[in-house]
């Protein structure tokens, strides 16, 4: 499997600031999506010779290609065959490949680069190397990864930093490409960086001020090749951390990651727990989020950071854990306790995360399309009593036995979506054989004769409505990726919301009829 090369390369080893000699460097950029476009744009500005390849010859990609050609000399190759192998740069082999994070290490382009001994970076690695400009480093990074909760935690971290009066931004996997944040002309006081396992795979010199792996569970096994490889890439978030490695005290695996990490001398290990914290931890005491890590008198006292009420009514346990992780990150940066509280009060969670959609006939409809793996779905299911569960999609190589076995007693029925949910169906047969399983009908089709995601979701909502009883929750927490039937988890969530609204409106019309 291709990996980020650590082999010494004098030319690349010298490229550690914006002002290093990037001029003429031959770089192949794979993908022209958000991160790929940002990487190519940056490299062109640095004076590198850039070739960009992408297999999709779409109108959007052609527009991006035209933009790159306007800002500098870029050779953009789109469409079939563009990514069949290692492209040359001005007739020569590239000196560096910068890859988009979603591209698997086994992809022909990356495999060919690895075979040729060409280093492969991601946009995060490139961003770290250009963060110093004219001798002035950009903001410190607070790095966040985990199987679940990354986007919530990075948003909370950003909100806390801003509550402290700092100019801060959430960047990376969360939406704003890290290179765009780095190049902001006003600069930042701090950057909360969400890092996926894909992005971490291609890093090896990043040195955050503080870092956290929120949790670890089986996910993206198809991309990484094994759970061990996935876990190893997640653990890279702790490499070279300067001040504090934050770990989940309720999951020993994350603590072992910290123990095994090669960090900057003097870096501390700080745990977070939803229970009572020990020394050098943050946790919860009598409904209060407290700090026993970043205060002088931590052996005998704790500092109040916030209240569970600041997270909203009946906040689930995993949300409190995310808040504690964010609090530990900003406390490592030096933020005062009052900003933790104010940041949590100001924080507005993103959509498609345990989002109530409607309530009708004492049945609650909840959208958690962001639950793209079993670990996330488990957190959703645990928040409710009797559930009609809408689930299924791309499994990403994970298994569902533990999820189903742990939640079988709360399942009223299961409605399966997804082009192939055979693994989830099999787990249900093994561990919840008495629970009715309904396959969403797929009679409605799109232009090419295949079921549209919207049509499948309408059928799923109708089936769930038929199975639900008063007091139940209909929960769409798929435990799977969405790309088999939808553009993204957001598209899937929007389809669910629209289908529920259509059902509720239909019921209202039926009620009005004489």
397 labelled ligand-binding = no
pLDDT score of 420: 83
- What is the distance of C-alpha 175 from the center of its chain? 10
Rg from Cα positions in the chain: 24
Burial 43-62 (b: 16+ CB within 10 A, else e): bbebebbbbbbbbeeeeebe
Q: In this structure, are residues 492 and 478 in contact, taking their beta carbons and an 8 Å threshold?
A: yes
Which stretch of DSSP H or E encloses residue 232?
A: helix 227-235
152 labelled ligand-binding = yes
151 labelled ligand-binding = yes
pLDDT score of 201: 96
Place of tokens 């690895």: 114
pLDDT score of 138: 79
pLDDT score of 447: 45
The residue extents of the domains of the chain are: 10-126, 138-346, 355-503
Domain with residues 355-503, CATH architecture: Alpha-Beta Complex (3.90)
* Residue 297: partners with Cβ closer than 8 Å, 6 or more residues away: none
42 labelled ligand-binding = no
Rounded Cα distance between 322 and 341, Å, is 14
pLDDT score of 444: 45
471 labelled ligand-binding = no
pLDDT score of 442: 58
> In order along the chain (514 residues), what is the average pLDDT of each group of 10 residues?
62 95 97 94 96 94 92 88 92 96 91 95 97 87 94 95 97 90 92 96 96 90 88 97 98 97 98 97 96 93 95 80 97 98 89 81 92 87 92 88 94 92 93 94 49 87 95 94 86 92 80 50
Q: In this structure, are residues 357 and 445 in contact, taking their beta carbons and an 8 Å threshold?
A: no
pLDDT score of 448: 46
pLDDT score of 511: 52
10-126, what's its fold?
Answer: Rossmann fold (3.40.50)
Torsion of CA 130, 191, 195, 231, to 10 degrees: 100
Rounded Cα distance between 27 and 10, Å, is 16
Q: Answer whether CATH 3.40.1190.10 is correct for domain 138-346.
A: yes
Closest CA to 30 of 60, 56, 63: 56
146 labelled ligand-binding = yes
**pTM above 0.75?**
yes
């Amino acid at each position: 499997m291709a990996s980020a090369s650590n082999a010494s390369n004098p030319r690349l080893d010298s490229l550690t600031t914006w002002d290093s000699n990037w001029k003429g460097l031959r770089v192949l950029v794979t993908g022209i999506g958000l991160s790929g476009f940002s990487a190519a744009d940056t490299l062109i500005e640095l004076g590198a010779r850039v070739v960009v390849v992408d297999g999709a010859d779409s109108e959007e990609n052609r527009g991006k290609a035209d933009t790159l050609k306007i800002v500098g000399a870029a050779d953009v190759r789109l469409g079939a065959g563009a990514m069949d192998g290692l492209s040359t740069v001005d007739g020569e082999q590239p000196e560096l490949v910068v890859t988009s994070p979603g591209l698997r290490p086994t992809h022909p382009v990356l495999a060919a680069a690895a075979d040729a001994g060409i280093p492969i970076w991601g946009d995060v690695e490139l961003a770290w190397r250009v963060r110093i400009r004219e001798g002035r480093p950009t903001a410190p990074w607070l790095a966040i990864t985990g199987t679940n909760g990354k986007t919530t935690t990075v948003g909370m971290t950003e909100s806390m930093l801003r509550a402290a009066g700092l100019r801060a931004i959430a960047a990376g996997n969360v939406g704003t490409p890290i290179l765009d944040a780095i190049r902001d002309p006003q600069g930042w006081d701090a950057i909360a960086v969400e890092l996926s396992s894909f992005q971490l795979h291609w890093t090896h010199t990043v040195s955050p001020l503080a870092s956290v792996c929120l949790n670890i569970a089986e996910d993206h096994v198809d991309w990484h090749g094994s759970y061990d490889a996935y876990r190893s890439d997640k653990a890279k978030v702790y490499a070279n951390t300067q001040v504090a490695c934050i770990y989940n005290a309720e999951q020993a695996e994350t603590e072992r990651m910290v123990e095994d990490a090669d960090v900057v001398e003097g870096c501390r290990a700080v745990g977070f727990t939803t229970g009572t914290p020990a020394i050098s931890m943050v946790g919860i005491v009598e409904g209060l989020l407290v700090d026993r890590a970043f205060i002088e008198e931590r052996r005998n006292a704790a500092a109040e950071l916030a209240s569970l009420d600041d997270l909203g009514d009946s906040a689930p346990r995993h949300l409190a854990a995310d808040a504690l992780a964010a609090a530990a990150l900003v406390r490592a940066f030096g933020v005062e306790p009052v900003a933790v509280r104010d940041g949590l009060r100001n924080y507005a969670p993103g959509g498609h995360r345990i989002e109530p959609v409607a309530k009708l006939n004492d049945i609650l409809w909840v959208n958690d399309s962001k639950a793209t793996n079993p670990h996330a779905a488990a957190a959703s299911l645990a928040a409710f009593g009797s559930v009609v569960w809408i689930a299924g999609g791309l499994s990403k190589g994970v298994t569902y036995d533990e999820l189903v076995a742990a939640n079988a007693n709360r399942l009223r029925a299961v409605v399966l979506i997804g082009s192939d949910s055979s693994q989830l169906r099999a787990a249900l047969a093994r561990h919840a054989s008495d629970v009715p399983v309904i396959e969403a009908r797929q009679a409605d089709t799109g232009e090419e004769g295949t079921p549209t995601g919207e049509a499948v979701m309408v059928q799923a909502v109708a089936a769930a409505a038929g199975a639900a009883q008063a007091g139940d929750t209909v929960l769409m927490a798929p435990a799977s990726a969405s790309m088999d039937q939808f553009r993204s988890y957001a598209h899937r969530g929007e389809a669910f919301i629209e289908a529920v609204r259509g059902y509720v409106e239909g019921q209202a019309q039926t009620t009005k009829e004489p």
